[in-house]
Amino acid sequence: MRYTVTVGERAVEVEVSGDTVRLNGELVHATLSGIPRTPLRNLVLNGHARTFAMVRSDGGWSVQAGGRAWPVGVVDERTQQLRELTGQRAGHAAGGLIRAPMPGLVVRVEVEPGQRLDAGAGVVVLEAMKMENEIATPGPGGGKAGHVKEGQAVEKGAPLVEVVEQAEG
């Protein structure tokens, strides 16, 4: 499975296949383990160990080490493909129209007009090929208008929800 991992402003392509790990295409020896009942993680990368804390924050997760903190994002291949299909980009403002990445049936609408949305908040759940797929906002914002109702069938590219950018604070 391939992931794009962003720590602060730095993005790294990570591919994991069994015990094999590649960072930006380069084979590395890596293990990541948690320390039970703590937010601490131990990463051993090519023989060098690093300990850091993974902490949930308002906008997702952050890595904390040495008195500093960096926001972290992890996007798998499937999520990246969905974002590309809908024109959404990770880490950007949510303003705009969120469209259906595939044809399906609207199972739930999870946002109301005026509702504040954090980055990654689910706005609509679509059922496609007997699987439920949560469609999320790519950044913080506010619900403006819903274009669909529960039980409604939609085609790929159909407008689902309109979101407006909101200033943080």
Q: Quote the percentage of the chain above a pLDDT of 70.
A: 86
| Cα 30 from Cα 20, distance rounded (Å) | 8
Across 74-87, average pLDDT = 74
Q: Which fold has domain 94-164?
A: OB fold (Dihydrolipoamide Acetyltransferase, E2P) (2.40.50)
In the CATH hierarchy, which fold is given to the domain comprising 2-75? Answer: Glycoprotein, Type 4 Pilin (3.30.700)
Window from 58-67, 70-79, 114-123 with minimum mean pLDDT: 58-67
Q: Where are the domains of the chain?
A: 2-75, 94-164
Amino acid in the structure at residue 122:
G
Residue 60 clears pLDDT 90, i.e. is over it: no
Cα separation, 100 vs 158, whole angstroms: 5
**Non-local CB neighbours of 34 within 8 Å, separated by 6+ positions:** 40, 41, 42
pLDDT at res. 91: 45
User: Residue 156 corresponds to which amino acid?
Assistant: K
- pLDDT over threshold 90, residue 48: yes
Which pLDDT does position 112 carry in this prediction?
85
CA distance 106 to 6: 31
Q: Residue 87 and residue 82: Cα distance in Å, rounded? A: 8
Q: Using one digit for the tens of pLDDT, what is the confidence trace for 119-152? A: 777 888 888 877 888 887 777 777 877 888 999 9
Query: Measured between alpha carbons, how far is 9 from 118 in angstroms, rounded to an integer?
Result: 19
pLDDT at residue 66 greater than cutoff 60: yes
CB-based contact 2:13 (threshold 8 Å): yes
pLDDT of 42: 93
